[in-house]
Amino acid sequence: MESVKDRAAVIAKMIDHSLLHPALTDQELKAGCAEAVEYHVASACVKPCDVKQACRYLAGSDVVVCGVIGFPHGNSTIEIKALETEQILRDGAAEVDMVVNIGKVLSEDWDYISEEIRTIAEIVKQHGAILKVIFENDLLPDDRLKIRLCEICSECRVDFVKTSTGYNYVKGANNCYSYKGATEHDLTLMRRHSAPEVQIKAAGGVGNLDAILFVKELGVTRIGTKGTRLIVEEARRRFKNGSRAGG
């Protein structure tokens, strides 16, 4: 029978512990990596400049480093994204989260997007690493765009498709900014239109245990969050009282 510890560990290994805030200090990076190790998450997700340092902090643990490229706007050229990918992999990253060129998606320049994703996927595979492709769904108003991205990612055999960066907000008619992040609609759509072997990562608004259990039921296998400590501690308490990890 699965123990409380095992159930909580299942949740922990769904987490990419997010250390991506633009104002994150070296001290906060070190503390964040310590938290990732303490709770045995899947990865610590860090900025390119922090990959080497994070690898030192995580050495000897069961937590890998995930580096981001083209983050958060996706506007770098394919050549620069390729160089950035090579750099973070040489620095020790085992996983790569790449933001697609959002403007090219909105322009429906699918040849460009296919070349971009394929180029990065080939580099990542050569290094035996994992690639997650970020759509930034809040900026994509038409489901057709998300579906086509799922199809291209499946054709390029990426490992994950991902909803959001958590750092792009949409300006409304009232001049206020809003952000939805990982919605049930988008996660269901992405699961339906991605190849079975392509996994789904939810990011944005998945900051508590109930949210994780909900998206897990939708087929999500990885989530991005800063709330690791609260989530895993809640999982330990709840499962100790007899609740199941599945919801």
Residues forming the active site: 97, 162, 201
Cα–Cα distance for residue pair 163/199, rounded to 1 Å: 12
Look up residue 25 and give its amino acid. T
Cα–Cα distance for residue pair 138/94, rounded to 1 Å: 27
Cα–Cα distance for residue pair 119/129, rounded to 1 Å: 14
149, two tokens: 């991205």
Q: State yes or no: cis peptide before 196, omega within 30 of 0.
A: no
